[in-house]
A and B are shown apart, each in its own frame.
Chain A
Amino acid sequence: MTANVLILSAAGMLVSAYLMVGQKALFTTIRLYGLQSLLLAIVAITIAISESHRELLVTAALTIVLKTILIPWFLMRTVDRIGIHREIEPFLNVPVSLLICVGLTVVGYRVSTGFEEGSQLVTHHLIGVALSLLLIGLFLMVTRKKAITQILALLTVENAVFLVAVGVTTGMPLVVEFGIAFDVILAVLVLGILVQRIVGRFESMDVSRLSNLKG
C-alpha cells in the first residue's frame, strides 16, 4: 500500500514536470509547482508513517508551508506586479521539448539502475523520477526565456534533490534541512526582487536580452 502511494506520488511529480514543460501560462506553471511540492510532502508523510521516522513529519510540514503555500503565493504576487502573464515562444517548440524530456527521463531511469538502492522497486522509481526531474528542471532553465520560469525550474531541481534525500536515505540532518529551507526562501526572495528590478529596468523579463551586456 505504501509502495503504491509512493510510486503514484512520484509519478504525479513527473507528470507535473511534463505539464510545466508544455505550459505557457505562468499562473498555471506556478500552480503545477505547488502541486509537485504537495506530492513531495505526501511522499514524506508516507515514509514517515510507514517507517516511523518522526523527523520526516517536520520535513513534510516545512515542505507544505513553504513550497506549497508560501512560495507559490509570493511568485504569483510577483507575476501580478509585473503584469506579464504568459511565456513567449521558447527556443524549442512544445513537441520537440516533450520528446527531449522523454529522453531525459530514460537517462534518469537508466542511471538509477546503476545504484544498488535501485534494485528495489520503490526506490528504483523514486531515484528514477528524481533524476528525471532534475534533468527536466535543467532543461527548462535552458529553453525558457522568462525569469519566473527559470526560478520555477530551479525549484523543481531542488524538489528532485529533496525527493532522493527523503525517499532513499533517512532524510537529512535537521540542521541541513533548515539550512536548505532557508536557502530556498532566500533564493526565491532574491530572485523575485531581481525579476522585478529587471522588468522595471528593461521592461522585459526576457533573459536572453542579457547577452546585450556582453562586451
Chain B
Amino acid sequence: MNGLVAVGVPLALVIRLTSIVATLMLVRHARACRWMAIGGSIVASVMTAVVAMHVIGSASAIDGTLFRHAASETELGYSVTPLSAWFLMVLALIAVPVALYSAGYFAHALARPRTAAVGAAFNAMVGGLEVVFVADSVIGFLCGWEVMTLATAALVATEHESRASRRAAYLFLVMSHVGTGCLIAGFMILASSAGSLSFPAILSGHLASGPMRDGVFALFFIGFGVKAGLIPLHIWLPAAHPAAPSSVSAFMSAVLITAGIYGLFKVCAFGLGTPDVNWALVFMAVGTLSALLGVLYALTQTDIKRLLAYSTIENSGIMSLGLGAAMLALAHGHSTLATVAVTASLMHMLNHAIFKGLLFLGAGGVVMATGTRHIEQFGGLMRRMPWTGLFFLVGALAISGLPLLNGFPSEWLTFQALLLGFTSTPGLVRLNFPLAAALLALTSALAAACFVRVFGISFLALPRHPAASAAQESPGLMLGPLGFLATLCVVLGVFPGVVLRGLEGVTASLPGLRPAGAMAWGRLGMSSTLTSFDHIAPALFGFALLGGFIVATALTTRRGLAVRQAPTWGCGGELTSRSEYTATAFSKPLLMIFGAVYRPTRQVDAVAEVSPYFVEEVRYRAEIEPTFERYLYGPLGRGVVRMARGMKVLQAGSLHTYLAYVLVLAVILLMWLGGTT
C-alpha cells in the first residue's frame, strides 16, 4: 500500500496520458474511445483518491517527482499536502460519477465523431487540475493551470456551430488569461524576492507588510477569483458552464471552481504571512456580494444550466465568506475561531461539489430527454422521469440548506464562525459579522425559493411542451451516479461528523490554525468550539421528523378512507398547461422587490391586424440589466479596443517594415549593451 501511495500520483498522470493518446488513436470507433477515455479517467481518479485519503488519514504530506530531465536539469516535483489531499479527494469523488454518467450521456447526446476529442479533453482537464493541486513549484502549477484552462475551453466549444458556444469559449479564454496573467505577475514578484521557484520558499510569508504585499494579494485575488467565479470577475461562468456538455458542466461547476478556491486558500490566506484585516474584509464583502447576487440572478434565469451556474457563483461566495471570516480571525490572532471558519469553508466546498454535481447531472438527463434547456418548456417530468426527479429533489433540498441533507451542516458551521467571530472580535469591525450572517440567511432563503421554482416548474404538474410529454427516463448508467450522489447528500447530512474528522488533519497542516478538537461530537453531531454555544445532531433530529411523518401518514391513511382522483379546479374552464404558473411569474415578486439590483426593463406589444380594438397577440419581453457587462467590462473592453486601434498605425502590413523594426532594435540593443559591458 505504501509503495502504491508513493507512486500513486505520477502513475495516475501516466494512465491519464495513455488514455488520452489511446482515445485519440481510436477516433473511428466511438464506443471504444468512449470507454477508453472513461475507463482511464476512473482508474486514475481512484488512484489519486487512494493517495489523498492516505494523506488525510495520516496528516502528513507525500512528496515526489513527476518529471525529471537530467540534461537540462529541469525537474517537476509534486507535494500532496493535507490541503491538496482534501481537494484531490473532492475531485475524485466527483470525477468518478461524472465519468460513469458520461458513458451513458456521450452515447446518447454527443455526436459520434466528437467523442474522441471530448473524451481526451476531459481527461486533460482533470489531469491538469490534479497537477495544479499537487504542484510544488511555480512552473508545475502554471503548466497544470494552463492545460486545465485550454482543455476546458475546448470542452466549452464542443458545439462550435452555435455562436453562443463560440462566444462563451472566447470569453472564458480571455477572462482566464487575464487571471493567469495576474497569477504569473504575482508569482514572479514572490519568486524574485524569495529567490526560488518552489512553493515552500515562496509561500513562507517572507514579504513584509506594506503596499508590495497588498499589491501581490490583489494580483492573486484577481487571478484566483476569476477561476472561482467571484463577482465581479464572474461574467464567463454563466456563459461557459451551460455551453459544455452536461456531464462536463457538472464537473466544471462542482470541481473546477475549487481550483480558484484552492489558490485563494493556499496563497492569499495562508501563503503571504498573517493576513491583513483589509484583505479579510475584501474577502467577506466579495463573498457576500457574490452569494447574494448569484442567487438573485439565478432566480430570474429560465435556462436550467445557466441557473445552476449562477447558483455556483452563490456557493463560491459562501466559501469565500467563510475564508474571509477565517482571515479576520487570523488577523486578530484567534486561531480556534479561524479553524472553525476554515473547516466551514472546506466542508461547504465538499458539500457543494456533491449537490451541485448531482443537480447538473440531473439537469443533463432532463435536457437530453427533452432536447431543450428552457425551464418553461419542461413540466410534468416527475411522472415520465421518476428517478431523475427524485434525485433532483434531493439535490434541491440539499442546496437550500435544509436539515437532514448535507447543505445544512456546512451552512450551520459558517453561521457558527460568523457568530463566534462577532463575540470575540473587538471594535467596530465586528459589525461585519452579523451583517454577513443576515445576508447569508437571506441568500439561503432565496436559494430555497429558487429551487422550489426550478424543481416545481420542471418536474411537477402538466407538461408545457410536447417534448416534455414525450420525455423518457435516462438509462441506468446515468441514473446510477445520480443515486450515488443523492445518497451521499443524505448520509453526509445525517452524519456530518464523518467529514469533520478528515478536516482535522487538513486544518492542522495550515499555519496559524489550532485544531479545535471537540468539533466532531461523537459520530453523530457537530458542535462549535464551545459545546454550550450550539451543537447539532441531525441523526437524532431525523427520528423526530420520522415520528412526525408517521403520525401524519397514520392520520391520513386509515382503513376505509378512499382516495378520489379528480381534475384540478380550473375556475370552471379547462385546465391546460397554458394556465399553469410559469417560472417567470414565480420569480416576478422578487424581481420587483429587488428591482434596484436587477433594473428590469420590459416591453409589451399588442399585435392587432384588423383593428386596434381586436388584439390578436400580446408580446411581452422582459430583460434584466447586465450590470457588470455594461458598466464594468463594456468600458474596459472599449478602452482596450481604442488603444489597439491607436497602435494599429505600427502595423503597416509590410513584412519588411516589421523586419526593419527588428533590425533597428537589434542594432540599438547591441550598441547599448556593448557599450555598457
- Do A175 and B72 touch (CB < 8 A)? yes
A113-B673 Cα distance, complex, nearest whole Å: 11
**Among residues 633 to 677 in chain B, which have CB atoms less than 8 Å away from a CB atom of chain A?**
651-656, 659-660, 662-663, 666-667, 670-671, 673-677
Additional pairs, 4, CB under 8 Å, beyond known A114-B675, A142-B662, A207-B655: A107-B671, A138-B663, A141-B656, A208-B655
A142's partner among B656, B671, B675, B676 (CB-CB below 8 A) is: B656
Whether A138 contacts B651 in the complex (CB less than 8 A), given A110-B671, A115-B677, A175-B72, comes out as no
Q: Which residues of B contact A213 (CB under 8 A)?
A: 653
- Do B659 and A141 touch (CB < 8 A)? yes
Whether A107 contacts B663 in the complex (CB less than 8 A), given A114-B677, A208-B656, comes out as no
- Do B663 and A210 touch (CB < 8 A)? no
- Do A207 and B671 touch (CB < 8 A)? no
A-B contact pairs, 29 of them (CB 8 A): A91-B656, A107-B667, A107-B671, A107-B674, A110-B674, A111-B671, A111-B673, A112-B674, A134-B666, A135-B663, A135-B667, A138-B659, A138-B662, A138-B666, A139-B663, A141-B659, A141-B663, A142-B656, A142-B660, A143-B656, A145-B656, A175-B71, A175-B72, A207-B656, A210-B653, A210-B654, A210-B655, A211-B655, A214-B651
B667's partner among A104, A143, A208, A212 (CB-CB below 8 A) is: A104
Closest Cβ–Cβ distance, residue A171 to chain B (whole Å): 15
Closest Cβ–Cβ distance, residue B661 to chain A (whole Å): 9
Q: Which residues of A contact B674 (CB under 8 A)?
A: 107, 110-114
- Do B71 and A173 touch (CB < 8 A)? yes
Q: Which residues of B contact A107 (CB under 8 A)?
A: 667, 670-671, 674
Whether A142 contacts B659 in the complex (CB less than 8 A), given A175-B71, A175-B72, comes out as yes
Closest Cβ–Cβ distance, residue A8 to chain B (whole Å): 25
Q: Which residues of A contact B654 (CB under 8 A)?
A: 208, 210-211
A145-B659 Cα distance, complex, nearest whole Å: 12
Q: Which residues of A contact B675 (CB under 8 A)?
A: 114
A141-B656 Cα distance, complex, nearest whole Å: 7
Closest Cβ–Cβ distance, residue A16 to chain B (whole Å): 20
Closest Cβ–Cβ distance, residue A205 to chain B (whole Å): 12
Q: Which residues of B contact A115 (CB under 8 A)?
A: 677
Q: Which residues of A contact B72 (CB under 8 A)?
A: 175
Q: Who on chain B is nearest to A139 by CB? A: B663
Q: Which residues of A contact B670 (CB under 8 A)?
A: 107-108, 111, 131, 135
A210-B72 Cα distance, complex, nearest whole Å: 40
Q: Which residues of A contact B673 (CB under 8 A)?
A: 111, 114
Closest Cβ–Cβ distance, residue B605 to chain A (whole Å): 40
Closest Cβ–Cβ distance, residue B350 to chain A (whole Å): 46
A213-B652 Cα distance, complex, nearest whole Å: 11
Q: Who on chain B is nearest to A145 by CB? A: B656
Number of A-B contacts (CB under 8 A): 62
Q: Which residues of B contact A207 (CB under 8 A)?
A: 655-656
Closest Cβ–Cβ distance, residue B654 to chain A (whole Å): 4
Q: Who on chain B is nearest to A103 by CB? A: B667
Q: Which residues of B contact A135 (CB under 8 A)?
A: 663, 666-667, 670
Q: Which residues of A contact B676 (CB under 8 A)?
A: 114
Q: Which residues of A contact B651 (CB under 8 A)?
A: 214
Q: Who on chain B is nearest to A207 by CB? A: B655
Q: Which residues of B contact A173 (CB under 8 A)?
A: 71
B653's partner among A111, A141, A211 (CB-CB below 8 A) is: A211
A213-B655 Cα distance, complex, nearest whole Å: 11
Q: Who on chain A is nearest to B661 by CB? A: A142
Closest Cβ–Cβ distance, residue A127 to chain B (whole Å): 10
Q: Which 7 A-B pairs have the closest CB atoms?
A: A214-B653, A111-B674, A211-B653, A114-B677, A114-B674, A138-B663, A211-B654
A173-B676 Cα distance, complex, nearest whole Å: 29
Q: Which residues of B contact A104 (CB under 8 A)?
A: 667
Q: Which residues of A contact B655 (CB under 8 A)?
A: 207-208, 210-211
Q: Which residues of B contact A145 (CB under 8 A)?
A: 656
A107-B644 Cα distance, complex, nearest whole Å: 35
Q: Which residues of B contact A113 (CB under 8 A)?
A: 674
**Among residues 71 to 123 in chain A, which have CB atoms less than 8 Å away from a CB atom of chain B?**
91, 104, 107-108, 110-115
Q: Which residues of A contact B666 (CB under 8 A)?
A: 134-135, 138
Closest Cβ–Cβ distance, residue B537 to chain A (whole Å): 64
Interface string of B217-236 (1 = CB under 8 A from A): 00000000000000000000
Q: Which residues of A contact B71 (CB under 8 A)?
A: 173, 175
- Do A142 and B667 touch (CB < 8 A)? no
Interface string of A163-190 (1 = CB under 8 A from B): 0000000000101000000000000000
Closest Cβ–Cβ distance, residue A166 to chain B (whole Å): 19
- Find the residue from B651, B653, B663 having the highest chain A CB count within 10 A: B663
Interface string of A127-153 (1 = CB under 8 A from B): 000010011001101110100000000
Q: Which residues of B contact A134 (CB under 8 A)?
A: 666
Q: Which residues of A contact B653 (CB under 8 A)?
A: 210-214
Closest Cβ–Cβ distance, residue B666 to chain A (whole Å): 6
Q: Who on chain B is nearest to A212 by CB? A: B653
- Do B663 and A142 touch (CB < 8 A)? yes
**Among residues 596 to 640 in chain B, which have CB atoms less than 8 Å away from a CB atom of chain A?**
none
- Do B652 and A211 touch (CB < 8 A)? yes
- Find the residue from A108, A138, A143 having the highest chain B CB count within 10 A: A138
Q: Which residues of A contact B663 (CB under 8 A)?
A: 135, 138-139, 141-142
Q: Which residues of B contact A210 (CB under 8 A)?
A: 653-655
Q: Who on chain A is nearest to B72 by CB? A: A175
Q: Which residues of A contact B660 (CB under 8 A)?
A: 142
Q: Who on chain B is nearest to A143 by CB? A: B656
Q: Who on chain A is nearest to B654 by CB? A: A211
Q: Who on chain B is nearest to A115 by CB? A: B677
Q: Who on chain A is nearest to B669 by CB? A: A111
A8-B670 Cα distance, complex, nearest whole Å: 25
Q: Which residues of A contact B671 (CB under 8 A)?
A: 107, 110-111
A107-B656 Cα distance, complex, nearest whole Å: 22
A114-B675 Cα distance, complex, nearest whole Å: 6
